[in-house]
Amino acid sequence: MEGLKNIMEEDVERQLDILLPTMPNICSCDICRSDMAAYALNRLKPNYVRSNKGALFHKVNNSSTQAKTDLMTAVITAINTIGARPSHN
Ligand SMILES: [Zn+2]
């Protein structure tokens, strides 16, 4: 929907940016990154915010420690799962 944005997408992408460089044995091509993001996002509670003319209202301190732990766990699981079985050759 126009004007709505799931800010978890950004959070997952940020985690991938942080974690993938520390895992040189894992493929980090665009296909795998997208697969990992989808895998993690399907396991996380979405967090939709209203966006206004492209500007996002991302409450920086909005996420609890538990939410951060859930995010980290989902992204690491996604990296390990997709990394072990990439959908490409
Ligand atoms: Zn790949």
Distance 31 CA to ligand 1 centre (A): 5
- What percent of the chain is modeled with pLDDT above 70? 87
What is the rounded average pLDDT for all residues in the chain? Answer: 89
* pLDDT tens digits, 44-65: 999 888 876 555 555 545 568 8
* pLDDT above 80: residue 32: yes
CA–centroid distance, residue 27 to ligand 1 (Å): 5
What would the 3-class secondary structure string for the chain be?
Answer: CCCEEECHHHHHHHHHHHHHHHCCCCCCCHHHHHHHHHHHHHCCCCCEEEEECCEECCCHHHCCHHHHHHHHHHHHHHHHHHHHCCCCC
